[in-house]
Amino acid sequence: MGENPAKNHYAQLNQGEENEMEIFGYKTQGCRKALCIAGYFLSCGALLLLFYWKPEWDVWANCIRCSLEEADVVLLRTTDEFRIYSRKTVTWISVSALIQSRLNYPATAVEDSIFSKAIMKPSLQVKSIQVQRIRYVWNIYAKQFQKVGALEDHHTCSAIHAKFGSGLTCNEWNVRKVICGPNTIDVPVIPIWKLLIKEVLNPFYVFQLFSVCLWFAEDYMEYATAIIIMSLLSIFLTVYDLRQQSVKLHRLVESHNNIMVTVCRNKEGDSCFQELESHHLVPGDMLVLKEGKTLLPCDAILISGQCIVNESMLTGESIPVTKTHLPQADNFKPWRMHCAEDYKKHVLFCGTEVIQTKADDTGVVKAVVLRTGFNTAKGDLMRSILYPKPMNFKLYRDALRFLMCLIAFAAIGMIYTVCVFALNGEEAGEVVKKSLDVITIAVPPALPAALTTGIIYTQRRLKKKGIFCISPQRINMCGQLNLICFDKTGTLTEDGLDLWGLLPCERNCFQDIHSFPADHSLPWGPVFRAMAVCHSLIVWEGKIQGDPLDVKMFEATNWVIDDSSGHQIEGQGSTHATVVRPGPKASSAPVEGVAILHQFPFSSALQRMSVIAQEIGGEQQVFTKGAPEMVAMLCRAETVPLNFESKLLLYTAQGFRVIGLACKSLQAGKQSTDLTREEVESDLTFLGLLIMENRLKRETKPVLEELSAARIRSVMVTGDNIQTAVTVAKNAGMISPTNRVILVEANKIPGSFSASITWKPLEKNKPEDYRGLAKAMGLEPRSPRVFTSALPVDDSPPTTERRIGLALASGQYHFAMSGKSYQIVAQHFRHLLPKLLLNGTVFARMSPGQKSSLVEEFQKLDYFVGMCGDGANDCGALKVAHAGISLSEQEASVASPFTSRTPSIACVPELIREGRAALVTSFCMFKYMALYSTIQYLGVLLLYWQLNAFGNYQFLFQDLAITTVIGVTMSFTGAYPKLVPYRPPSQLISPPLLLSVVLNILFSLSMQVFGFVVVQEQPWYSKTDIHSACLSVNNHVENSSSISSLGLRGMRDGAHGQTDNGYKSYENTTVWLLSTINCLIVALVFSKGRPFRQPIYTNYVFILVLIGQLGVCLFLVFADIDDLYSKMDLVCTPTTWRISMVIMLAVTLAASFLVEEAVIENRPLWLLLKKTFRYHSKSHYKRLQRVLEQDSAWPPLNETFFSDSVAISVEGSMGGHSNPTFDSNEDTL
């Protein structure tokens, strides 16, 4: 039964967000519920179990459809490809005790508040549901469920100051507290009994329970007991692991749940301060931040004063961040839209630590609570761990299909069993037992446990290499990775920057370069002042802390930060200003010090930061630093040198990081706090370029070369300058020296909805290209004197054109583009995006949201994408990639599936190697388990023909001594040290694998049937006398047994002892010995070594196990010990027949080994077959590659295209798995 979205019955929850869901309304019906309860009892709980596995069936059976307004039960369905259902009960929250009359609660009169829109009159109740720890209430007017626990987005800056500036009244606070719930990120430690029940109700364990009950009914005690012990061990290990994770998460958040905070309460127009525990906070509360370190228990908007915060929990970088207060702008725009990309500079995030507060004229630092509980940035991070995105991997889908095939196979066996035994007059109960037993033979109960052991061993090997994994099922996925996105700074290059040089500018001309470290110190002047004050550094725990670039720049001046409590600055009143003064080693300066009065913090969207500073006793000045192309745009044209672009490209082309500096003087008498950022950052004077060196890490180049040799694509995704990124990519080996780099530049056309896109070749050291690339780096020409518009490269020499043509024809070209261009392409040139991504290697100036979006776009092309970053700004991309590898051990990296202890990309090939080995091990295990169960199944069905079967100890030996031990030790084989240029197959249902399984089944069937038939043709064979072959041996007591005297006893009726229990026969002995040793042959043949795993002989434990098992089996073949044979239900056969069986096994081994090596593992043969039958990969990117190879017009060099269609909405195309509470507006650049 499916869903038919009818009016009012269906709606969408969290539309456009990462956790978007469909919601359906249902009403419980009494008679349906009564029928279901009767069904639970009649089915002995089986129906209840089915409803537990399928919650949608539970709702459909118990309830009838209705509108969401009337619903008492809702059914939720995810909108992704998995369409996962969940059931939630609607609850009612009563606020009648808090609101005696409408007048008692002034906020109910405010119609724009969700709290007033949710309270139903006259019952004064609120209808709510809780989904993934977030509470939603029913909006009576909008007729939909809406989130509570967050301040509404529609408030303007002035409204936030006016409505919440003096705090909430007690009544408002009480109502909000009841509706929103406590402000806690509560991750309780799950009780062991709950974890146990959840694990035991897994379908696999339910099947095992069924198998065990059946075996006990047939007196097959030993193996049933062994399976119980193994299952309990597996359950306890899983429960222990889950419990440890639960405890770890609980400890991670418990520190934020109970902090004493000071809030401001509005009592009859007067504000008063009140201390309370943080779990009582509600959205709209006014927090008062005191001096000293404070952990933030919620997200809050700073409305007065300034804070310095350590945000390492969110970004992974322990760099203090400056937060400024929300301006009191009087306009109609919502506060977030008014602040645009800079809104985060006013928000204090939950879980971060305030390390310093600076009050303004009011004397207190205040913040309005924005979000509480799981709505906060920290809560969102926790929810991403508690509710991870399900994985879509072919192996897991194929595994289910594989089990379905085995069940179908078992069904045929059941029909055969019923026919054979029923026709021979067997009792109905015995027939049922035997037919059910066929399922437990054909479907191996030990398969999931065997697969899990393989992953556990790989996880342990990774841990030894310093790679930690919180999502073990992703290890197999690492074996399929064929594209890795790398962050640049801190990942490919060293974390810190070294100051290389300073290129000062005077009277619009660049002066001689000043190199570092220099013999002589920098002379006093505007450039020196800019380096001394244009930063956001603080003194924290006795050390200068901040951005590494700022630290290096400031250290070069030899000045110090005087961080005393407050400074009286002339004309500014009492202001907490940071003052910098000359240090002991500083060159003489004509000033006592410089005070930093106001900061406009660095914004990744604006690519710059500014400060207003004042020399002690001097005038106020503005200093700006940032991306050179951005800073130059803000400067007066006459102050920027004419050779600005060529000088910039000269340094960026060598891989240097270049920073532009600028300044201007402010009019006297103006309060620094009254000026807007736009006023401050205009008509600046260009001061020069600061050149920083960012060295490649030692291991970067060899790792990228190894990945390239293995045909794994490397892509750079960075926030740095495009030219610097291209140079680093060339130096690192991502782009080979013979390959061409084509710059893709997209721009919006002013005053219209269309955009343009241009392709330009990056030609090294060509002056005309320097000019042409000014716009490509985001420079909008302000004056023709300074910036020359893009020149066509048609005048390049014929040899260059020919070289470009050859490189392009062979596909040896790389696209480079900025985040701005990527955004415009995704909006206006959606059809070109896949073509650009196919050869896109460098993506520069990318925001966190764009990084996530890029990873998702690569995944849409059927790439298996890995993301490697240092955790700073990469959280979203690390989460959404198939394998996210964080090089940071900060808390932010908990969302990443893999974390490397050593901050080096050497972990990437290591992870791929182990992933490939784990994937191949999984395939080997599947094949072995399929063959083991099929061999046993065929043997049993053959013996059923004679109303015989294997004895208990025969089953026990095969199941426990052979298969269980092999299942545990086969996975010990390590990964092969060399990455080969192809990947293991990604699916079980692949021709080589299926052929391997089918051929080996045929070999086993042929051998068993041959043995079964031929033994009956032997001269010594007798149906009635099982000792006829060895009459002369060992003076046997005659104990003949005819078919009629077998009594058609149960297959595993355990009448133990020295007597004949009805299993002994020549056919039984032959088939059992052949099938047992056949299991060893299959284990050996299927244990693949090279090219993905080390040779099988390196797995000493496995080899010793096989040798030991083979020795025992051969002993059983050739030994003739009465007691042993009697216990194992074997009979004595002539030596010649025993040798014949060994020859049969040797032939089977030779045939199986030959087929596996010469056909199944013969890669050239399969490639030839693919070519002969014209088989092409169905991967989207492969299909696109074939199309582009035929397209001579691609890429269109030096051409400009225009979009004429209306743009796709940014929200739709830039979804990205970013942290919505922390990073929601990154994509509006």
**How far apart (Å, rounded) are the C-alpha atoms in residues 868 and 865?**
10
Q: Is the peptide bond before 903 cis (omega within 30 degrees of 0)?
A: no
Alpha carbon distance 833, 849 (integer Å): 17
Amino acid at 1120: D
Q: Are 279 and 858 in contact (CB under 8 A)?
A: no
CA distance 437 to 427: 15
**Burial class of residue 687 in the structure, from the number of CB atoms within 10 Å of its CB (0-12 exposed, 13-18 middle, 19+ buried):** buried
The answer to whether residues 79 and 5 touch, using CB atoms and an 8 Å cutoff, is: no
d(CA 431, CA 426): 6
Centre a 10 Å sphere on the Cβ of residue 1199 and count the other Cβ atoms it contains.
12
HSE value, Cβ hemisphere, 13 Å, CA-based, for 520: 5
1168: phi then psi, degrees, rounded to nearest 5: -65, -45
Task: Decide: residue 1063, CB within 10 A, 0-12 exposed, 13-18 middle, 19+ buried.
Answer: buried
Alpha helix positions (H), 424-510: 428-442, 447-464, 475-478
Spacing of C-alpha 292 from chain mean position:
36
Residue 73, both tokens = 């039960």
Q: Where are the beta strands (DSSP E) in 1026-1170?
A: none
User: How deeply is 802 buried, as exposed, middle or buried, from its count of CB atoms within 10 A (0-12, 13-18, 19+)?
Assistant: exposed
700, two tokens: 């970067």
Largest CA distance in the chain: 123
Q: Which residue has the tokens 């330009």?
A: 760
β-strands 883-886, 467-469 pairing: unpaired
Q: Give bridge partners of residue 26 from the DSSP assignment.
A: 65, 73
The answer to whether 1017 and 915 have CB atoms below 8 angstroms apart is: no
Torsion of CA 1224, 490, 699, 815, to 10 degrees: 50
Backbone angles phi, psi at 381, to 5 degrees: -65, -40
870 carries an active-site annotation: no
What phi and psi, each to the nearest 5 degrees, are found at residue 238? -65, -45
| Residue 1046 burial (C-beta neighbours within 10 Å; 0-12, 13-18, 19+) | middle
Closest alpha carbon to 940 in 958, 924, 925, 923: 958
Residue 693 φ/ψ, nearest 5 degrees: -105, 130
Q: Residue 23's Cα: distance from chain center in Å?
A: 26
Given the residues 299, 487, 1053, 1060, the one annotated as active site: 487
- Alpha-carbon gap, residue 860 to 392, rounded angstroms: 13
- Residue 364 identity: V
CB 338 within 8 A of CB 156: yes
Residues 6+ apart with CB under 8 A from 923: 984, 985, 988, 993
Cα distance between residue 841 and residue 713, in whole Å? 9
Rounded to the nearest 10°, the torsion over CA 637, 638, 640, 645 is: 70
Indicate the DSSP class of residue 181: -
d(Cα 909, Cα 900) in Å, to the nearest integer? Answer: 12
- What lies within 8 Å, CB to CB, of 176 at 6+ separation is 115, 168, 282, 283, 284
Q: Are 564 and 539 in contact (CB under 8 A)?
A: no
Nearest-angstrom CA–CA distance, 674 and 1019: 112
Active site residues: 487
